[in-house]
Chain A
Amino acid sequence: MDKIKRNTKYQQKGLVSILFILFMAIVASFILTIGYSRLLLALQRGRSVVDSLITSYRAESEINDLLARLIEGYLTHKDFDFSDSVNLADGTRVDSRGRISGAEQILTVSARRSFAVSEIQAVRTIKTQKTIKSVDVILILDCTSSMDERVTLPDGKISTIMAEQKKAALNFVESMILHEDRSLFRLGVVVFGSNAASWIYDAKNVAVTPDNGFSLEEVREAIDINFGNSREKSSVFYRPSRACQRVNDGTSIGSGFVFAQEYFDTKREEGRKQVEILITDGRPNSRIAYDKCPPSTTCGVLGPVSCTKPDYPEAHNFMRCALADSNTRWDGNYGVRNPQIDAYSVTIFETPSGEAVDIFQAYSKAYFNASRAHELTGILEKIFETIVESLSTISISRVIPVPEE
């Protein structure tokens, strides 16, 4: 009997132990399950961040690719509307869509992964000239005596660089006059030398600025009558034209740029495009004091203080400062040109080289060299075409993706 009781007691104890262990096992499994689910959650959370970055990168890459194709003409207006979908090797699905809405070409790219979607939209607005109030252009012409150098034209005739510059400027105005949207263009003309720059003036002594109400024909006439040096038939000395008498001899290219830019800065308004075009034959050898372009000193070939020979670093730095835009550094300083002003540079070097050319190439919107003076006309026409074509903008934004149906 005792043995039976003892066995029963052991069995009860064993049962309790088993139940306890069972209970503990269930609780432990429960805790482990929670732990495991948290681990999974942490992994998925990590994946969601990675997916977010990857989709953002893929969408941006695709939109940049589409924009490059659009701008370069591989994707044309007639290709719209389009829709495309591609599955990348990394598991990202990229959907591209393009549609036209009025004057806008709208590109939308969605990149989707398991845990993230990024959608980016680029709107290219074709701003025809009609949506622009005006295109204000300032021609900045070189008045230095070296422009009077003789050149031989392809037909054997003798001319001067100044005469070719004048001819090119007149042809440029002519191109504007013949343009179907000529009313949009307003033109001013500036000359520069060593000490400063100046507007050219018409017969009534009114400055030829974009805002002074000159018709293009009147600007053409003002250039024709007042601009250009001319040689005495029997003399090797040049006689400055009326316009060039306003500035001293010597080449301060920076003076020409800052003169035009300071004018534009007071005239800025929405829908008004501002363009400056400088033509020169020489390397800068002069500068004026200008606080925004340190060190602010004055030096020149005719002044009391000469710039440092033989490289004229003061003149070159002034040119850098004047031409570089305010987002661009030169030697630790930012340029002074507002980026909204488009600056074009044209040189008339026989063999383009040297520091001045490097500066023009680095800081102009576009730089052209006419190895022969008579090529200026063609280059100015090319610039004119560039101005007309550049009137469109692209806006890129991130948009909230629409859930798939």
Chain B
Amino acid sequence: MLIFITAGSVMATLYSTGTRTKQSQALEQTINDLQIEFLNAVKWGTSVSYSSNSISVDGVAYQLRDERIYKNDVPLTSNEVIIKSLNVNNYSNSPPYLSLEIKIELGHRRFAALYDTVRFVVSQRKTTLEEHG
């Protein structure tokens, strides 16, 4: 009987840990995806503008809508992850090139205990150079 209880509880623990890991990985994946997406878009964008909760790069709009981040009308984040907030600030002191600090609060839709806040800075680079001399 003791064996049954022990084995059962070990399995239950393994299962719950596995489930929690899976949900946690979903958040990690979302964070990675968003970082890479914003890094590439802003860095290489020729026309970048922003508001406190949206970014526009060469006519493509990134914005928070219905707890998901959309790239124009295509969702970038999965349904099981909710984006609680998207905040954008410009840190650049060399206009017109932007250095955007992007802060995203996100969590799991079904596991309220799983949430995270990610903050990163992406800088626009000069893509057209005039050759001097």
Contacts and interface: CB of A to CB of B under 8 A. Distances in A.
Given A21-B7, A31-B18, A35-B18, A393 B129 contact: yes
B66 interface: no
A124 B93 CA distance: 28
B25 A365 contact: no
Interface in A26-53: 27-28, 31-32, 34-35, 38-39, 41-42, 45, 48-49, 52
Interface string B9-34: 01100110110011001001100100
A394 B131 contact: yes
Interface string A370-397: 0000000000000000100110111111
Contacts of B94: 327
A395 B17 CA distance: 50
Given A31-B15, A42-B28, A393 B21 contact: no
Nearest to B36: A52
A31 B131 contact: no
Contacts of A52: 36
Interface residues of B, number: 34
Contacts of A32: 14
A394 B18 CA distance: 51
Contacts of A395: 127-129
A394 B14 contact: no
B38 to A, nearest CB: 13
A82 interface: no
A308 interface: no
A203 interface: no
A9 interface: no
A69 interface: no
A21 B3 contact: yes
Nearest to A398: B44
A48 B29 CA distance: 11
B35 interface: yes
Contacts of B32: 45, 48-49
Interface string B83-105: 00000000001111000000000
13 contacts: A35-B18, A45-B28, A56-B39, A386-B132, A390-B130, A390-B132, A390-B133, A392-B131, A393-B131, A396-B125, A396-B129, A398-B40, A398-B44
